[in-house]
């Protein structure tokens, strides 16, 4: 029997693991969580040396985060044995208007969100508050180089800065860059930063970006979830995630359908 190993970030019960279980449902595939993405290189090197013994086919599936450019099409980004998601983070796959609406209707308090349109309006409201911070994070992601700056100036994944206005976000981001440029041989100017930022501002300010919910692809999912909970006092995002994973339908996402097809091809 062919042995196929599917590596992912996190641990058993993490969002990555649980979503992949839905993707490979009905197939005898081994999912092996590796913890942090920083352990991925060691896993891949080990498999390359011992792959023929340990497995017939293997891959690492992980979210794109800010480590890869935004794809033009809803497809996986494939870099050797690493398969990156189309959406920015794994949480983005769980943040769905319809799923969120149905979850609320089963709660004692639905926050007067009685229709899917009301939920969509809330999502858009939250997205507009985050647009400058997300534009800056994408700018930092596009410009950074090895061992340079992070994509945020706050500590902790999903932690939002106190100020989300453009000037504050722009200033904080440039400070991150400037601190590194002073210690490196990189030769580029603030004009490059401003031009790159403007690319994302233009994208994130288009009405279609909000009406078509494109922010659920581009934004960092933990950031969006944190901002969303600030609009809903005492809302349990963890209970929502459990519900969303229980009812998750991977066939709604073309990159996950593609992942399933790749795995099935190697089972033949």
Each domain of the chain, given as residue ranges in start order, spans 4-91+249-267, 95-246
Task: Quickly state the pLDDT bin for 43 (edges 50, 70, 90).
Answer: low
Q: Tell if the pTM clears 0.75, that is, is over it.
A: yes
According to the model, what pLDDT value does residue 149 have?
A: 87
On the question of pLDDT at 37 being above 60, the answer is no
Give the per-residue pLDDT at 53. 46
Overall average pLDDT of the 55-79 stretch: 89
Closest CA to 24 of 256, 268, 255: 256
pLDDT tens, position by position, 104-146: 999 999 999 999 999 999 999 999 999 999 999 999 999 987 7
- Upper half-sphere CA count for residue 198 (Cβ side, 13 Å): 6
Helix segments in the chain, DSSP class H: 15-23, 40-54, 97-105, 116-143, 166-181, 190-204, 207-211, 215-218, 221-230, 237-246, 254-267
Residues 6+ apart with CB under 8 A from 46: none
**DSSP three-state, residue 77:** strand
Is 82 in a helix, a strand, or coil? strand
Confidence class for position 51, pLDDT limits 50, 70, 90: low
Cβ neighbours of 176 (radius 10 Å)? 19
Ranges 71-85, 86-100, 186-200, 205-219: which has the least confidence: 186-200
Q: What's the mean per-residue pLDDT of the chain? A: 91
């Amino acid at each position: 029997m062919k042995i196929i190993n599917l590596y992912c970030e996190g641990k058993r019960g993490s969002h990555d693991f649980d979503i992949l279980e839905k993707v490979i449902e009905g197939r005898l595939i081994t999912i092996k969580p590796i913890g942090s993405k920083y352990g991925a290189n060691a896993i891949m090197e080990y498999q390359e040396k011992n792959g023929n013994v340990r497995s017939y086919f293997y891959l690492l599936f992980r979210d794109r985060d800010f480590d890869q450019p935004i794809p033009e099409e809803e497809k996986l980004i494939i870099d050797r044995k690493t398969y990156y998601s189309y959406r920015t983070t794994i949480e983005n796959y769980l943040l769905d208007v319809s799923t969120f609406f149905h979850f609320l209707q089963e709660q004692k308090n639905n926050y007067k969100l009685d229709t899917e349109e009301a939920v969509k309006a809330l999502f858009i409201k939250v997205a507009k508050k985050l647009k400058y911070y997300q534009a800056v994070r994408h700018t930092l992601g596009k410009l950074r180089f090895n061992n340079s700056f992070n994509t945020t100036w706050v500590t902790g994944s999903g932690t939002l800065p106190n100020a989300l206005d453009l000037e504050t976000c722009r200033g904080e981001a440039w400070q991150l860059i400037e601190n590194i440029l002073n210690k490196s041989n990189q030769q580029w100017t603030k004009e490059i930063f401003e031009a790159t930022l403007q690319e994302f501002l233009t994208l994130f300010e288009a009405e279609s970006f909000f009406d078509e919910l494109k922010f659920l692809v581009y934004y960092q999912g933990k950031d969006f979830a944190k901002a969303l909970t600030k609009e809903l006092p005492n809302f349990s995002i963890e209970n929502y995630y459990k519900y969303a994973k229980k009812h998750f339908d991977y066939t709604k996402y073309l990159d996950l359908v593609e992942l399933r097809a790749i795995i099935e091809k190697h089972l033949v």
